Amino acid sequence: MDARTDMLMPVAPGERIVAMDAVRAFALLGILLMNIEGMVGPLFGSITGVNPALTGADRVADTLIYIFVQGKFYTLFSLLFGMGFAVMMARADAAGRSFTVLYLRRTFALLAIGLLHLLLLWSGDILVNYALMALVLLAVFRATPVHRLPWWGVALYLAPATIMALGGAMGSLAQLDPAAAADMAKGLAEQERAMADALAAQRATYGGSDYFAAMARRWDDFTMFIGYLPVMGAHILGMFLLGSWFVRIGAIQRPDEFARLYTLLRWVALPLGLAAMLLAWWRVPTVDFGRLDIESGMASVLTAIANLLMCLGYLAWLLRGLNGGGLAARALAWIAPAGRMALTNYLTQSLVCTTIFAGYGLGYFEQLPRAWQVPFALVLFALQVVVSRAWLARFRHGPVEWGWRALTYGRLPAMRVVPGTP
């Protein structure tokens, strides 16, 4: 094998960007804190903001997760995916070879993993969306000049929220006309009823003991969610482009050279994002599928802006912690192995949680109070960090990552750690 071919082979542990692994591990914790509600109970019950039926500690936990976690960490994961794309492209360019076929194999392998995940374990899968948007990323944006990436990224990310704001404004205007208001109310009532029916079906099926009925329900959930792909896909693709921009300008590899950028993200973007999130929560804390007006539309815009700004602020603080030394750097370095096997850990979270909570598993469906879901997620993540560290002390890749690389590169990567090798 020549050097040019070797540059396109899987990245050795010594060649990895450690900051990306640490940020990915932190994002993995956030994903679990966000997803746990849709695993303990019906998935559609976890996407409507603050549950108005909750009280006391449960309501506090639900509100804190909604403000600080929900929507912020799938964006961070999307940002990291875009970074991975840029790193892989840079390695291919350095080797003087096209990586299109390689990347397509990688993407279709991820699509297959995502489809298996949503059918066999949990219908809240994000990997299918990532794979589909990765195809768009390759086809449309691979040759985009670096200075245009953040503009395209922000525009794509905010496009769905802008459309929703316009829809809300049109909804408010329609209410001025009695006939239009009646037609709109009828349509919204049908939409609200469809969501209520789906929620009831999830509650009955996932709380039941028939695994194959749950598989069928997961497929039904998927067909509903895929209809929202233009919205979710625009968010994801926008974050892919921003992540690619961070790598292509060197801001991840050499953060000290971009002190001004990260200072703005820490002290301007994050506070502004939090303020926007608090305003959206104050005005519209719970999503109502039977409502379409200017206030609900503007809440959607504020939430989207908040998710983006807070995600970037989190990234900036994480990089500050990694490069600042002390306890924060040690803690982030300690959890980084979980980020090196993030795909394995993401799938394992679904396996563990559905086994415990689904009716066909241990049957604790809707039995874990909202407040207790937070410490449960923290303990599970801590266990994953411990297992990841032990695993990577002996093996070069997580088990699912190893299979993904094998499908991507068409050969079995080395698995065991050999002393003295990178």
Domain boundaries, the chain: 3-409
**CA pair distance 422, 262, nearest whole angstrom:** 31
Percentage of the chain modeled with pLDDT above 70: 95
The reported pLDDT for the residue numbered 292 is 85
Least confident of 89-98, 177-186, 398-407: 89-98
Decide: 340 and 21 in contact? Cβ < 8 Å: yes
Least confident of 187-191, 298-302, 318-322: 187-191
265-280 per-position pLDDT tens digit: 999 999 999 999 999 9
pLDDT at 416 over 90: no
Burial 213-234 (b: 16+ CB within 10 A, else e): ebbebbeebbeebeeeeeebbb
Which 8-state DSSP code applies to residue 284? -
For residue 250, CA distances in Å to 26, 120, 135, 137, 141 come to 21, 39, 24, 20, 18
Of 400, 356, 398, nearest in space to 377 by CA: 356
Of 236, 301, 313, 239, nearest in space to 274 by CA: 313
For Cα atoms 180, 183, 187, give the angle at the middle one, nearest 5 degrees: 135
Phi, psi for residue 416 in degrees, rounded to 5: -80, 145
Q: Where are the alpha helices (DSSP H) in 269-369?
A: 270-283, 294-323, 326-340, 342-357
360-380 per-position pLDDT tens digit: 999 999 999 999 999 999 999
- CB neighbourhood size of 36 (10 A): 22
Pairwise pLDDT comparison (7 vs 156), residue with the higher score? 156
Mean pLDDT of 6-34: 73
The reported pLDDT for the residue numbered 420 is 56
Percentage of the chain modeled with pLDDT above 90: 71
3-state secondary structure of 286: strand
Pairwise pLDDT comparison (103 vs 324), residue with the higher score? 103
Q: Is 145 left (phi over 0), alpha (psi -120 to 50) or beta?
A: beta
**CA pair distance 251, 255, nearest whole angstrom:** 5
Average pLDDT, the chain: 91
Q: What stretch of H or E contains 34?
A: helix 18-40
For residue 340, CA distances in Å to 7, 160, 193, 242, 389 come to 19, 32, 43, 21, 10
The reported pLDDT for the residue numbered 418 is 67
231-254 per-position pLDDT tens digit: 899 999 999 999 999 999 999 989
Decide: 31 and 348 in contact? Cβ < 8 Å: no
**CA pair distance 393, 238, nearest whole angstrom:** 36
Confidence of residue 1 (pLDDT cuts 50, 70, 90): very low
The reported pLDDT for the residue numbered 16 is 55
Decide: 249 and 146 in contact? Cβ < 8 Å: yes
Q: Is 56 left (phi over 0), alpha (psi -120 to 50) or beta?
A: left
DSSP-assigned beta bridge partners for residue 49:
286
Of 4, 224, 281, 238, nearest in space to 136 by CA: 238
pLDDT at 409 over 50: yes
**CA pair distance 10, 396, nearest whole angstrom:** 10
**CA pair distance 85, 224, nearest whole angstrom:** 28
Confidence of residue 422 (pLDDT cuts 50, 70, 90): low
Structure tokens at 55: 């009280």
Of 134, 133, 128, 132, nearest in space to 115 by CA: 128
The reported pLDDT for the residue numbered 145 is 95
The reported pLDDT for the residue numbered 13 is 47
Confidence of residue 50 (pLDDT cuts 50, 70, 90): very high
62-107 per-position pLDDT tens digit: 999 999 999 999 999 999 999 999 988 888 777 777 788 889 999 9
Going by C-beta distance under 8 Å and a sequence separation of 6 or more, which residues neighbour residue 30? Answer: 69, 72, 73, 76
DSSP-assigned beta bridge partners for residue 395:
416
pLDDT at 14 over 70: no
**CA pair distance 278, 268, nearest whole angstrom:** 16
Structure tokens at 286: 């719970």
194-234 per-position pLDDT tens digit: 888 999 999 999 999 999 999 999 999 999 888 888 889 99
